[in-house]
Amino acid sequence: MPKSLTHGKWTPSPNKGIREVDSKGPVPDTPAFRNASLQGNKGLCGNVTGLMPCEANVLRKGHKNKKILFVIVFPLSGSMILSLIVLGIFFSSKRTTDSLEKQESGLNDGQLLSISAIDFDGRFLYEEIINSTKDFGAMYCIGKGRSGSVYRAELSFGDTVAVKKFHPLSDDIELVNQKEFLNEIRALTQIRHRNIVKLYGFCAAPKHSFLIYEYIEKGSLATILSNDEAAKELDWEKRINVVKGIAYALSYMHHDISPPIIHRDISSNNVLLDSEFEAHVSDFGTAKLLEIDSASWTRLAGTCGYIAPELAYTMKVTKKCDVYSFGVLALEVIKGVHPGDVIPLLLSSFSETNVLFEDVLGLDQRLPPPSPGVQDKLRLIMKVASSCLNVNPESRPTMYSVSQMLSA
């Protein structure tokens, strides 16, 4: 009610009342107002006949305000919550994107550049490998090569992996373009074949650079063939299956994926055997990922003794280079040692029908003589291997043809 009415000396007319006054609020508790005709003034309250008590009116108004408050606040709260959720998703996504961009930005932050089969944060996995190998201690080393050493790493979450740690990069061994390198690694991690070692990823850090592979129990074919007891365990049937497994792996790499992958370094060091003596080709693509310019590599991709002769003058790596290396390796599996100087003799007798390949090559004497059925399989392997060693690359069979011939 207006202050002029509550505090002034105004006296209502007995006939007119206060209906014409647009008033609100409590009516003063004075005789003048108590005797006034105030009915119909819904905005007024007080101890006057015809008006609601002020306390009840206030409660009703408060209840109404609460309704309005609920109606307004809840939609606002819902909108705010929805907005916060959207913002949260946006910033979370941005952090993930930023993290991935940071992961792939270069080789200086110790992060894993590419990881496939093990779903863990790059830095966590990096630290896991460092801890599980005691910073690549000698007792965890299971093999050595020109480009690096291989370590066995038992990770805390139960998996065991093989880690190939590269020798410190120097002026004559440099990583190729980082983006290209990362793309190559990603492509290699997508390869899935029973006779190819799974590559989980690559890690590059200022102190260490390494590849993370599936762990294969029995180690390299070279190690097994160099150990008399282990070589005896690798009987003729198992050796035949090893040769077939290598052929299947190379056929897959050359003909079943796009773009095809040339291994570039097929040798007994890069074939691993599992607990069932199944062959697994490893280190595929590694030579392509490194620019080598040192005396030990002589700028030729591959291992001395397995390198195709045309590379000496063409310096061009092709699928037929892998075919040649396979031929050498297949003979090594049968003979038990690298065929070496026997290769020219074997090639010269290739067209002579009266000469037995086993007489020229010589079978591994640590094993008992093969049965007639097994001997036929060995002769087929030696014949196919000899065709792979043809001096003319174009005259060598494809790895697909090789795998088909060995499966016949």
Other CB atoms within a 10 A radius of the CB of residue 6 amount to 15
User: In this predicted structure, what is the pLDDT of residue 246?
Assistant: 99
Catalytic residue IDs = 265
Please write the tens of the pLDDT for every residue from 190-238.
788 999 999 888 877 667 778 889 999 999 999 999 999 999 999 999 9
Q: Which whole-number Å values give the CA distances from 249 to 12, 214, 241, 301, 383, in the listed order?
A: 110, 16, 12, 19, 20
Q: Which domains does the chain have, with CATH numbers?
A: 112-214 (3.30.200.20), 221-407 (1.10.510.10)
Please write the tens of the pLDDT for every residue from 349-407.
665 555 566 777 789 999 999 999 999 999 999 999 999 999 999 999 999 999 999 99
Nearest CA-CA partner of 152 in 204, 205, 196, 218? 218
User: In this predicted structure, what is the pLDDT of residue 268?
Assistant: 96
User: In this predicted structure, what is the pLDDT of residue 244?
Assistant: 99
For the record, the structure tokens of 225 come out as 């063939």
Annotated binding site for ATP: 165
Residue 356 phi, psi dihedral angles, 5° rounding: -85, 135
Buried-exposed string 128-138: b where 16+ CB fall within 10 A, e elsewhere: bbbebbeebee
**pTM of the full structure:** 0.68
Question: Which residue ranges in the chain fall short of pLDDT 70?
Answer: 1-25, 27-44, 47-51, 54-122, 146, 168-184, 205-206, 285-301, 349-357
Distance between CA 338 and CA 203 in Å, rounded? 34
